[in-house]
Amino acid sequence: MELTVYLAGQIHDNWREEVEKKAKERNLPLVFVGPQTDHERSDNIGEDILGKQPGNVYKDDAASDINNFRTQVLMQKSDIVIALFGDKYKQWNTAMDASTAIALNRPTIIIRHESLIHPLKELSNKANVTVETIDQALDVVGYIFE
């Protein structure tokens, strides 16, 4: 039984590669999907496809159309969502993806640094499991196959 995992969260470091590498080392039968991780491409995708927009609000909205399209397609193909909250930025996309996943009954794991416990407490409470490290998240997913 192969499971598809959507990796929601920040696109500012290579945490997804770390997840994939470690999952491989554990021989977990997982396929990973997620958002566009090239930040510039993600911000520009609206103008890249639709052409110059009349200002930043419109550029952002055009990009969001396409980023949300991608997320919707891939999350509907996923069995599990792992959402990682880092220590920088607003990360409202991560909160949005995790909340959407939970509302649609996708089993969801949140990874967050200890310092985020308080501001994330209600969302963390609604997720299935909250952990602090990638290894712990893979421990949880790996537990399915024991």
Locus of tokens 């220590």: 87
CB of residue 111 to a second copy, shortest distance in Å: 12
Which of 38, 32, 63, 33 has its CA nearest to residue 50? 63
Interface stretch with a second copy, choices 8-16, 20-28, 33-41 (CB under 8 A): 33-41
28 makes contact with a second copy (CB under 8 A): no
113 makes contact with a second copy (CB under 8 A)? no
Judged by CB under 8 A, does residue 81 bind a second copy? Answer: no
Q: Least CB distance from residue 132 to a second copy, whole Å?
A: 8
| 111 is a contact residue toward a second copy (CB under 8 A) | no
| Shortest Cβ 116–a second copy spacing (Å) | 8
Both tokens of 65, joined, read 């159309």
How are the residues of the chain apportioned to helix, strand and coil, as percentages rounded to the nearest 5? 50, 15, 30
Cβ-based burial of 24 (10 A; exposed 0-12, middle 13-18, buried ≥19)? exposed
Give every CB contact of residue 90 below 8 A, 6+ residues apart in sequence.
Answer: none
Beta carbon nearer to a second copy, 7 or 102? 102
Q: Does 48 bind a second copy (CB under 8 A)?
A: yes
Number of helices (H), then strands (E), in the chain: 6, 5
Nearer to a second copy, 18 or 104 (CB): 104
The neighbouring-strand residues paired with 110 are 83, 130
Exactly one of 28, 44, 47, 79 binds a second copy (CB under 8 A); that residue is 79
Of 3, 22, 44, 47, the one binding a second copy by CB under 8 A: 3
